[in-house]
Structure 1
Amino acid sequence: MKKIRSIFNSGLKVFRPILYLLYLFSFLSKRDVSIWSFGGDYNSFSNGKYLAKYIRKQNKGIRIVWLVRRNIDINKIRKDGFEAYYQWSLNGIKLSLKAKYQFLNSYVFDINYWLSGGSIITNLWHGVPLKKLNYDIKSGPSAKLFNPKYLPRWFMSLFILRLKSSHYFLATSEMTKEMFSRSFKVEKEKCIICGYPRNDSFFTSENDALPQYIQSKYNSDEKLIIYMPTWRDSGNDFLTDSKIDFSELNKICVKEKYKYFIKLHPLTSIDTSIFEKFSHIHLLPNNLDVYPFLNEVHCLITDYSSIYIDFLLTNKPIIFYPFDLEKYSTQDRDLYFDYSSVTPGPKATNSQQLMKEISRLGRTEAEYLEKYNHEEVKEMFWKFHDGKSSERIYNFFSNMD
């Protein structure tokens, strides 16, 4: 099967001129405004998943279809009750040519771009940026793709779908609107400020139950801490580089009645067996959606991951552990901001400092929010904090025609 997929993908590149002709012919297809297609990963960070669930719940006569690449688990989507097909299947081709509105999670390869002519493509993206994105990246491995020294961007975009822009882009505030417009080459007026559908779950009582995996390792008198570090472009084993003393951490968690859960980026490759000997430290499954229970988490620990920007909406404590800040910002990815100015929480740069901050979590949340200017930073990134992001997006597009 892998060999067949490899041959198929190689064929797409060889016959790129034919695909461009196919793209032009797709403009002749009559689009149906009642068909909304979604593409990309169906995971925790998928705004598309949460938007699609909202639309289905409203029962507005919209046909929701997921048209995905072969590397996506289509059965997982169907198990959630959605109609789903692979992009180049017969049904996938038909619906790619019919759908008026197409939503993606990252780049246009999330949908069947070659059959998208005449449709309206919207990038829901998967995180408010702290790290520089796309054309704003000036250093690190990704800079070679978005800002090559010897080839013009328009020429590169002929061969790399990741460089093609969507028609609309989802933003969360006036500031992020500017950033997304510049970094993705989308007109500023086409960057719509609605908020993220996945964060709507912070403002509802429908997600009170903790996942079974967490319940099995958690007592009601304990508090949850979740550690969610970001992905490094360099691919280094950053968890080893972080030099966290997990034995000492486990002792603190036992004493303070904390359960420490680690949620790594799906691309992270580490030896997970190192956590098996600890009673209060657990590695969360890659496919576990954290958003429905983030409101139950007492504290988030992270470094540069945009998850903290979402977590600001919960008004809960955040501890930052940027142990490799200088290396990360120079070798992996530039940052948009002065790190200390937009990270409202204590900073630990080594394991000893991290242990100290975790031990001090007993402070009241009110004292924490006031000390670290939490509200000021939250307002920078979020125009809305009302749980109505999906509603705004739905209304915007349904009122377009």
Structure 2
Amino acid sequence: MASLEAIPDELSRLMKYFPETPVEERPEFHRAAKDFLERAAPKVVRQFSPMARVKWHLAASGRGDELVDLLHYERENPGAFSVRGLRRARIELPGVESSSLPSSVRNFNRSELPVRGKLLGLAWEDGKLQIKGYAYIPNVPSASGKRSLRVAVLRRQGSRSTLPLRLRTVEEPRATAEAKGAQHNYDWSGFEIAVDPSRLRVRGQWQPGTWRLGIGIPRPGGMSVGSITKNNAGAAGHSLTRTLDDGVRLVAGFDRNRLRLSVDVVPAEIIAQDADGDTLTVTLRSRVTAPAGKYPTALRIDHEPSGFATDLPLQQGETGADGWLRHTARLPLADLPVDGVRPGKAVKYRTLIVFADGTTRRATNGTDPVTGVHPLPEGRELAILTDGAGNFTPQVRTVQPVVDGVEWSADGELVLSGVYTGPAEQMKMVLRHTGRNEDRPLPVEFADGRFTARLRPDTMPTYEGTVPLRAGRWMPRLRRTTEWDHTRDLPVTVRPDLVGTLPLAHRGEHRTYTVERVDFDRIFVESGPVLGPELRGAYRQRLMRDVYTPEQRKLPLREAVLYNSFGGKQFSDSPRAVYEELKRRGTEVEHIAMVHDQQVVLPPGVRGVEWGSKEWYEALARSRYVVTNGGIREWFVRREGQVVVQTWHGTPLKRIGADLLGTPKANLAYIASLPQRSRQYSLFITPNAFTTPIMTNAFRLQCEVLEAGYPRNDVFHAPDRVKRAAAVREKLGIPADKKVVLYAPTWRDDQRYGGRRFKLDNRIDVEAAQRELGEDHVLLYRKHHKVLDSIPGAGQGFVYDVTYYPDIADLYLIADVMITDYSSVLFDFAHSGRPMLFLTYDLEHYRDTLRGFYFDFTSRAPGPLIKTSEDLVSAIRNIDAVSEEYKEKYAQFRVDFCEPSDGRAAARVVDRMLAVNDELRG
């Protein structure tokens, strides 16, 4: 809650890490908490969340042991508690006696037990508006079964009139899957409501009015009533209009994203439009028996950002067969301002009907939507658009593709076809992921003013085979072939009268792909999750950990190795090298690799298990060996007889783990958990003598440490490395006469979209670099796996986006020059002896503010530290001189950080891994 901002930052941090506070220092915190609550206004404290009230009460009361238990519970179950009570709802938390808390702390007010509802479906069926969704009170589980005491009502705005509605309770697993908490099941919070519009008449007549939908849910101490919020796409995310009678519409729309129904008795509306190249002619109709002052006199078209506005006088025509008067307005197309129109940026005009009394209303369509497209000079067009509310909306834009055909073939090919009259020979189509901001090519053909795009989402090509389309929302966009980024892309829309044909779904081999819409007519392809509803969400994953895993741990271990490489995003790095060594030896074990979102192509004989699936939990519980290059979850406990090998993934330059103590980046709870986590490892692999003591302290290791060298770096000594490098160049399509520059930077802690979604912080002027280097170089750009966004210039012949190449080790083999910054790739690539350049434009900030280094990088770096793109290009052009200048530093760097380096690291790891197993077996 916002009132938590009243708590001083340092006091909040002390609360967050109270379990890690030494016992002798806790009384001081208790005094500070008591002093804070005594000084804070009661109103401010009352606005704390229920959990926060309990925590600060315990702190101020000196109840440290209970507070420690509560904070541990909160870390495992953020935001989760139970609600109890008959006359008053109160909070129940494990380890805290509710009766020992003051009523002002334990009791809820009405706003603290809100209804959380989401609209999942909105459609007309059999003359009724069908409303589907879910609604529950967080931390109040939905009753199992179909019986429910929930109620639904429509309340007329500005009146006391209410209409009770019949609410049918249905099972809706998405409610539980989309809830953040892991403690409660909301499956039976689904509902279906049918609204008969005839009930919205007032005294038997249609009258303008707005009705708001409310859902009432029983809870301890009473009932909570709340609204239903819209979805973010599809019919449940857009207004829906239905003609109830001649000139009467029902609009199911949204106010602050909450569903409302509006009866609109239309005094005038648009029924046709046409253009002859110079003039747009719009035809309206109005009621002959219009109320006083509601006779239409003009059609106003305006664009507030530019200040453009014009009132087009209406010319009255004859009365139509429907008994309504006809009017026409004419707009010279040359009068429309087009400043600001560019690819991807349209100018949208608002249209208002002006009445004799000076009032206005949005111009809306009649029964049928009035839309169309008219050509304008200089590659522009006037599009007459509409939306779910039926608004008549002209737009001037660059000629844009419009889909008029969507079809799934029986074998899973999606075909999008439509109209495009622009410069087709200069265009390509891409799919852009809305979450990751990354592009995939979408094959498209142009002919005779039309386009046809084809997509097989179950078999997207990669360097080593095919994988399904990555989960998430993919927007088709049209882009000039010469563009270096997405900023001038053209959106792809569906013809407005066809929005009702969506969604259109296809069930692939492992997931569902759905064509849907957003912003009314923007079309997209949704690649659904791999996991079924019975496994999605925090609640069901907790059941897998707490119920299914213990059952699996009772079963015998299987002779299998489970590999985890970067959380299943790859099958690479040292785990891959360990696999290859076991295969070389012919060790009789099953090989299982964890994969994430099925985005990994595995070698023959390696079985993939999806992260979070039953197969993954089973493999984790029953595989005799686990080989991982990343941290493990705190809940994982190595079972007796199991061998867990932690290979990690880099020599540290920047500080990590417990070495961040004393800095704002230190996570005391994580650091406190490190000893327990490390006890789950049988072996911790380090690459060199420099790293061993650092890892031992930073990760508080309480396991065997093996200074074997990194198995992944055996590639530099592989007997087939030259042949392998040639194959890699061929696979990437790199011309034989081009030198390869590999750029592999790390991520920036302060450059993020939120959470662990980091931005691309590109500082290379790729256009300038191509001008200087493009004749005889290529630039391979590999993002860190935590970084989103597309690579500027990729696909233009100079820049290659190799982020999803399966293993960076292959790229080391073909790189003539490495560019990096503070990434641990510098320690790996040093094994090659080839030159390195360091683009360290933010060195002081990164070193002194973000992370800190383990040694003086400025004096020991085996290459120049470069600030600008211009200097970087110059260094590449003069790489021989740079190499000579840093020859001695490079040699010393290899002595310090590249030993052992003999191509036998994987053998040493496997030798010890198998020996540990023999020792455990006695």
- Return the match for 1:286 from 783, 800, 804: 804
Distance in 1 between residues matched to 2:763 and 2:783, nearest whole Å = 16
SS at match of 1:335: coil
Distance 1:139 1:254 in 2: 47
Q: How does 1:82-121 map to 2 (within 5 A)?
A: 82-86=606-610, 91-109=615-633, 113=636, 116=639, 118-121=641-644
Contact residue 35 and residue 101 of structure 1 kept, 8 A: yes
Of the three residues 252, 261, 278, the one matched with 2:780 is: 261
Matches within 5 A, 1:300-319: 300-319=818-837
2:71 maps to: none
**Is the CA contact (8 Å cut-off) linking 2:679 and 2:701 kept in structure 1?**
no
Q: Say if 1:215 and 1:36 are closer, same or farther in 2 by CA, change over 3 A.
A: closer
Shift in CA distance, 224/332, structure 1 to aligned 2, threshold 3 Å: same
Counterpart AA for 2:726: A
- Measure the CA separation in 1 of the matches of 2:544 and 2:804: 35
Q: Residues 130 and 247 (structure 1 numbering): CA distance in 2 closer, same or farther, change over 3 Å?
A: same
2:838 paired residue number? 320
Pick from 582, 589, 600: which aligns with 1:55? 582
Which residue identity lines up with residue 178 of structure 1 in the other structure? P
- More deviation in 40-49 or 300-309? 40-49
After superposition, what is the alpha-carbon deviation per residue over 1:120-169, rounded to whole angstroms, capped at 9, x for unaligned? 222111111111112212477752x2x35xx9825x999xx7x8863321
In structure 1, the gaps of 5 or more residues are none
Q: CA deviation at 1:387?
A: 1.1
The CA deviation at 1:10 is 3.6
Q: Deviations over 1:61-96 (max 9, x none)?
A: 233223x36x3527623x543023346655545543
In 2, are the aligned partners of 1:36 and 1:100 still within 8 Å (CA)? yes
- Shift of the 92–258 alpha-carbon distance from structure 1 to 2, 3 Å rule, reads closer
Larger Rg over CA atoms:
2
Contact 1:102 1:122 in 2 (8 A): yes
1:184 deviates by: 1.1
Counterpart among 22, 32, 37 of residue 550 in structure 2: 22
Counterpart secondary structure, 2:751: coil
Superposed CA deviations along residues 253-292 of structure 1, whole A, max 9, x for unmatched, are 135x1111111112222343x3058542232242442312
Q: Which residue of 2 aligns with 1:9?
A: 538
> Which letter does structure 2 place at the counterpart of 1:96?
L
**Does residue 1:124 correspond to 2:647, yes or no?**
yes
Higher relative contact order (CA 8 A, sep 6+): 1
Note the alpha carbon deviations across 1:26-66, whole angstroms, 9 max, x for none: 4x65545x433222435275311221122112212233223
Amino acid at match of 1:36: V
Cα displacement (A) at 1:117: 5.1
CA 1:88–1:289 in 2, change beyond 3 Å: closer, same or farther? closer
**Corresponding position of 1:73:** 598
The answer to whether 1:190 aligns with 2:190 is no
The answer to whether the 8 Å contact 1:224/1:299 transfers is: yes
Q: Which amino acid is the alignment partner of residue 38 of structure 1? A: Y
Distance 2:577 2:671 in 1: 37
Residues 1:88 and 1:58: Cα distance change in structure 2 (over 3 Å): same
Q: Structure 1 residues 98 and 375, CA, compared in 2 at 3 Å: closer, same or farther?
A: same
Which structure shows the higher helix fraction?
1
Pairing of 1:347-358 with structure 2 (within 5 A): 347-358=865-876
Distance 1:21 1:53 in 2: 29
- Amino acid across the alignment from 1:385: S
Tell whether the 8 Å contact from 1:203 to 1:386 is kept in structure 2 after alignment: yes
Deviation at 1:97, TM superposition (A): 3.6
Superposition pairs for residues 154-233 of structure 1, below 5 Å?
154=673, 166-187=681-702, 190-204=704-718, 205-206=720-721, 207-211=724-728, 215-216=732-733, 218-233=734-749
Structure-2-length-normalised TM-score: 0.37
Q: Residues 96, 14 of structure 1: CA spacing in aligned structure 2 closer, same or farther, 3 A cutoff?
A: closer
- Cα contact 2:623–2:642 (8 A) shared by 1: yes
- 1:47 match: secondary structure: helix
CA distance in 2: counterparts of 1:266 and 1:177, whole angstroms: 25
Offset at residue 226 of structure 1 (A): 0.6
In structure 2, do the counterparts of structure 1 residues 89 and 12 end up closer, same or farther at CA, with 3 Å as the change threshold?
closer
Answer yes or no: is 1:35 the counterpart of 2:597: no
Provide Cα deviations, 1:157-215, integer angstroms capped at 9, x if missing partner: 99xx7x8863321101122110111111113x711011112211111224233436764
Match of 1:389 in 2: 905
Q: 1:210 to 1:314 in 2, by over 3 A?
A: same
**Corresponding pairs, count:** 379
CA contact (8 A) 2:657 2:671 kept: no
Residue type at the aligned position of 2:692: K
**Secondary structure in 2 matching 1:384:** coil
Tell me by how many angstroms 1:222 deviates: 1.7
Match of 1:246 among 754, 762, 766: 766
| 290 and 129 in structure 1: CA distance in 2 versus 1, 3 angstrom threshold | same
Secondary structure at the counterpart of residue 770 of structure 2: helix
CA distance 1:141–1:361, shift in 2 (3 Å): same
User: Which deviates more, 308-317 or 202-211?
Assistant: 202-211
Amino acid of the structure 1 residue aligned with 2:781: I
**Partners of 2:638 and 2:680 within 8 A in 1:** no
Matched, 1:334 2:852: yes
The whole-number CA distance in structure 2 between the counterparts of 1:9 and 1:213 is 44
Unaligned runs of 5+ in 2: 1-527
- Which structure: greater strand fraction? 2
Q: Determine the C-alpha separation between the residues in 2 that align with 1:214 and 1:235.
A: 33
Task: Assess, with a 3 A threshold, how the Cα gap between structure 1 residues 49 and 301 changes in structure 2: closer, same or farther.
Answer: same
Relative to 1, partners in 2 of residues 1:44 and 1:104: Cα closer, same or farther, differing over 3 Å? closer
Separation of aligned partners in 2, 1:342 and 1:396: 33
- Is contact 1:85-1:92 (8 Å) kept? yes
1:221 and 1:362, CA in 2 relative to 1: closer, same or farther beyond 3 A?
A: farther
**Helix, strand or coil at the partner of 1:101:** strand
Q: In 1, Cα distance between the equivalents of 2:760 and 2:613?
A: 43
Encode CA deviations 1:240-259: one digit per residue, 9 max, x unaligned: 7554322221122135x111
How far did 1:308 drift? 0.9
